[in-house]
A and B are shown apart, each in its own frame.
Chain A
Amino acid sequence: MRATLRPPRTLKVTGMGRTYLVVTFGVGLGALNTGNNLLYLVLGLLLSVIILSGVLSERCLRDLSVRRVGSEGAFAGEPFAFRWALTRRKGHAFALTLSEVDVPLTGEGGVGYLPAGLEHVVRADLTAPRRGPVKLVGVRVTTTWPLGLFAKTRVFPLPGTLLVYPRRGFACATPEDAATGHVGEAHHPHRLDGTGDLAGLRELAEGEDSRRVHWLKSASAGKLIKVEREREERRTYVLEVRPGLAGEALERRCEEVAEQAHRLLEAGHEVGLELPGQRLRPGAGSGQERLLLRALAWVGFEEQREEAA
């Protein structure tokens, strides 16, 4: 009963609500001073609107459940799309705004009308000020329904972690020289389709490009032999964040490495990462970029990573 009567809500008066309260107070004083019944009637209307606002906003925040859908990728210092899934078991809800509680994420999402039984995905453009893991505590759902006089808030405890990638920017320094030798996937059989040095000969498999056939060797061997050559345009780089960096220097290095990795991967190269206490094998493609960014995001927050694991 006590939980029902005193649910954990916070109530704030909006700017218009403050003026409304002042007007209500003035009308009340006028009614008391003059005894004008019409002022009493207006006062009654103003007071009942205040109570009704409380009741309707409470109904709005009832029977709600929130699920965090999350983000595709959050980079520090720029807005990123973040989603929550909002469901109402019964009744309708209006004018809800959602945001994360007690975290340095700015921005909020909104939904005008939420019918019962449907899961509504609310999208927001949030901005994180810095790189690293953000420990999410809960979701704040606020409504100013019905008249915008008061903002009632309910917090849904919903623990979680949002990993914020390093800020995207310009990398001033050029990456170090490409690695040589058997590093990365450059010698993987699937990668030997370039125009560089001879890497070997093998029998042509079914479906492979016949332009790669070495006709002289094929004639001598009596079967189709394929020439394998290295891809000269694809190189392997291993970027490094040296140990001992901290604070702003670490941030700058992480941002620089992230940008270099992005550029190299865009150009089709393979990129690996050497971090304090961690090493990522060179690889290519967007999946590798995501791995690099995740690893860079955790640099300096290793303790939290262990906790989260």
Chain B
Amino acid sequence: MRRPLRLRLVLRDLSTAAAFASMAISSQVPVWALVLFALALIVALTGRRPLARAPRLTALLLLPVAGALYLLVASGRMDLVVAACSFAGIVAAQRLLSESSAATDGQVLLVGLLMIAGGAALSGELVFAMCLLAFAVLASLSLGLAVVEAAVPPGEPVPVRAVMRPLARGTLLAVVGAVLFFVFIPRLNWNMGVRRATPGLGTATSGFSDTVRLGGSGTLKSNPRVVLRARLTPDPVSTEHLSAYWVGRTYDTFDGQEWSTIGAANRRHRTRVTLRPGADKQVYQRIELLPAYGSRTLIALETPAKLGNALTHTPTGDRRTRLQELGGDELRFVDDGLGYSYEVYSLPPGTDTDPGRMNETEMAQLLALPENLDPRVEQLARRVVGDEQDPLAAAQKLSAWLQREYQYTLELSGDLADPLEDFLFVRKAGHCEHFATALTLLLRTLGFEARLATGFFGGERVGDEYIVRAGDAHAWTHVLVPGRGFVTVDATPPAFRANQSLQILESLVSFYEAIEGIWRTSVVDYSFRDQIDFMRGLSRPPRDPSSPERPSGPPARAWWTAGLVALGVYGLVRYLSRRPRRPSMGEATRLVDAVERQLTRAGLPPRDGETLEDVSARFTRDAHPLGPTLAPLTRRYLEARFGQRPLESGERARMLEDLRRALDTWRQGSRSNAP
């Protein structure tokens, strides 16, 4: 038994790793399976196969693993697909550590295929596409090398370089073919079984809790991950960056260190919630909270009026979910899920709004101050605001003063006994929560009703949608203005409101998000309807809703498509017609049989063992009258039989006719010469 090619084994092991990764990115594969596979992979890549000596025994050990997984599934502690994927991973690990043979290699790659199928069932991530591509390339190269290695005689080198290029080209063609199949395979269903994505690049980052505590670190502001996608109607097409506030919830109570809400939760669960009366020209939003968001609080453009029609995305598919109303205008999804999508109607910015349903306690809480509030806070507020009586003007004065006099920083000193006092009088630097808290409490000390709001600020246009990043998380102040409702005033310097991640990191994440958007739209959510639209787009003109008349005749793209297809067919026909025809040996053999029959009938049978060329040579040597006829016929036969120049259509009949005439002439001559 010869030693297997090391490169082939490495490719095989890496392809298996790619297949396993396609499942692992779903974060649903148990940790023990991950660890076992990783260990097996590392050992295999070092070239050691410790299970080679006892392949059957170790294969038997897989049975208890299968039994344990079955029990977990039966007890409802593990999903069936996850259990199957985990078992496939363990089988792959066992095979990786076994002796390499043709059977083992085949099993490893086929288990890899099963893991890829499992990955497809568990995850819809873009990373899955990369894993699939990596598996296809690596497995094809490994299999191709194995095929060539098996054909090479022992002792001879495997022509690795010569093999790699055509294999790579073949793999590329296979991928193109896969795309074509994907586009044109008829869908008999409506894409119901797709499992939604997981947080992908890590755990969910921007969570909404029940409190806002001053302090901590400011890493969130530098996180470029996208947590929210929104499609707006009317669409502000020309706006690349929105300066919009996306509110999640508000807080009315500050105890000196953290904010909370006194409002009680509404126990009713509803599919649609109206927070306040609507208005003309409302902004409709179709929002998708991505798995990276990691919270159940609904987010909406300020100021939301109606929310509902929510879907929760779970590993097993989408389902409708209801909403629960909490204090502080917060709405939460009732069900847990990887992500959510819902619809919102918001009042346009600048519209007078209803403050919402608030009881007296809640209204009174808008003026509540912490018990140990430093008296210098009120003095400071009076010094800045002066005699201003209008709450909005006072808020704007304070906001401008804070932005001018205080520094924005994400470097904080950690937990303090009085973070507000530290911000206003010691460090004079902080992040958005410090600015918003300061403004809110400064206003309250002057008797103006205000509250803290949290959510996101910004919005970056990608395609037809706007995305919001984790780093866009923000806090600001709502000032209650009589007759206008709550008005947003933001004390944070404008340059620091949106996310502050590195530009290059942001670009990379945007690029990834854009590709993932294409992946999601074109692959994960591709449906029978898209297929029909695609086909229709090839044959019918796109309908312009603004134009009442249907354009006459097919569109230009239909002509282009027809032209391309015709060109392709023409090229194929040309190619096939140019190809040298396969030598028709049957035709040549029939020719020689017919010639011999004619010669025999004419009394000139070939001698024993004499071939046609021998007969022809004899005739020529003897100056036989048939020699000149038989010589070209024989030459043509040899060309057709061995020279790759097949007989043309009708050529055989023509030559036989010539021979028949020559034989007739020869017979007549023989008779006339006879005594």
A residues with a Cβ closer than 8 A to B are 1, 3-4, 7, 15-16, 19-20, 23, 26-27, 30, 32-49, 51-52, 56, 92, 94-97, 109-113, 115, 123, 143-148, 157, 309
Contact = CB atoms under 8 A, between A and B. Distances in A.
B582 to A, nearest CB: 5
B184 to A, nearest CB: 9
Contacts of A3: 581-582, 584
B106 interface: yes
A38 B193 CA distance: 10
Nearest to B577: A1
A92 B174 contact: no
Interface in B187-221: 187-195
Given A16-B106, A113-B163, A123-B153, A45 B136 contact: yes
B295 interface: no
A157 B579 CA distance: 21
Contacts of B177: 44-45, 47-49, 51-52
A95 B146 CA distance: 10
What 10 pairs between A and B have smallest CB-CB spacing? A48-B177, A34-B193, A44-B181, A38-B120, A112-B152, A35-B189, A45-B178, A113-B159, A16-B106, A110-B151
Interface in B357-376: none
8 contacts: A36-B120, A40-B182, A44-B178, A44-B179, A92-B162, A143-B151, A144-B147, A148-B146
A31 to B, nearest CB: 8
Contacts of B175: 45, 48
A147 B147 CA distance: 6
B170 interface: yes
Contacts of B524: 37-38
B144 A145 contact: yes
Contact of A37 (B148, B153, B178, B194): B194
Chain B CB within 10 Å, residue with most, of A30, A33, A94, A109? A94
Given A44-B185, A112-B159, A94 B124 contact: no
Nearest to A60: B166
B174 A48 contact: yes
Chain A CB within 10 Å, residue with most, of B114, B153, B585? B153
B117 A37 contact: no
Given A27-B113, A32-B189, A41-B178, 8 more contacts: A16-B110, A19-B110, A35-B194, A37-B194, A45-B174, A92-B166, A94-B162, A95-B148
Nearest to A98: B151
B162 A115 contact: yes
Contacts of A112: 148-149, 151-152, 156, 158-159, 163
A109 B150 CA distance: 11
Interface string B308-340: 000000000000000000000000000000000
Nearest to A124: B153
Contacts of B143: 146-148
Given A48-B180, A48-B181, A112-B158, A34 B110 contact: no
Contacts of B147: 94-95, 144-148
A113 B147 CA distance: 11
Chain B CB within 10 Å, residue with most, of A20, A111, A113, A143? A113
A97 B150 CA distance: 10
Contact of B151 (A41, A51, A97, A157): A97
B167 interface: yes
A23 to B, nearest CB: 5
B151 A39 contact: no
Contact of B193 (A15, A33, A43, A51): A33
A30 B170 contact: no
Given A4-B579, A35-B187, A41 B182 contact: yes
Contacts of A40: 182, 185, 187
Given A42-B117, A112-B149, A147 B144 contact: yes
Contacts of A23: 110, 113-114, 117
B17 interface: no
B232 interface: no
B441 interface: no
B400 to A, nearest CB: 53
B170 A52 contact: yes
Contact of A109 (B153, B167, B187): B153
Contacts of A123: 153
Nearest to A1: B576
A39 B153 contact: no
A95 B151 contact: yes
Contacts of A1: 576
Contacts, number: 182
A34 B192 contact: yes
A41 B182 CA distance: 5
Interface residues of B, number: 67
Contact of B523 (A37, A43, A48, A95): A37
A52 B168 CA distance: 12
Contacts of B119: 38
Contacts of B153: 109-111, 123
Contacts of A32: 188-189
Contacts of B103: 15
Contacts of A309: 609
A296 to B, nearest CB: 24
B152 A35 contact: no
Interface in B241-279: none
Interface in B559-603: 576, 579, 581-582, 584-585
A28 B74 CA distance: 26
Interface in B495-541: 523-527
B663 interface: no
A52 B173 contact: yes
Nearest to B152: A112
B91 interface: no
Nearest to B176: A48
B285 interface: no
Contacts of B181: 43-45, 47-48
Contacts of B14: none
B106 A41 contact: no
Contacts of B398: none
Contacts of A33: 193
B476 interface: no
B106 A27 contact: no
B191 A37 contact: yes
B9 interface: no
B179 A35 contact: no
Contacts of B191: 35-37
Contact of A35 (B159, B163, B193): B193
B29 interface: no
Given A3-B582, A309-B609, A42 B120 contact: yes
Contacts of B190: 35
Contacts of A92: 162, 166
Interface in B111-134: 113-114, 116-117, 119-121, 123-124, 128, 132
Chain B CB within 10 Å, residue with most, of A15, A56, A112? A112
A19 to B, nearest CB: 5
Contacts of A20: 110, 113
Nearest to A31: B185
A43 B121 contact: no
B140 interface: yes
A46 B191 CA distance: 20
Contact of A30 (B106, B117, B527, B582): B117
Nearest to B191: A35
Given A44-B185, A94-B166, A35 B192 contact: yes
Contacts of B173: 48, 52
Nearest to B123: A38
Contacts of B121: 30, 34, 36, 38-39
A271 B193 CA distance: 85
Nearest to B143: A147
A143 B195 CA distance: 41
A4 B158 CA distance: 32
A309 B611 CA distance: 12
A58 to B, nearest CB: 13
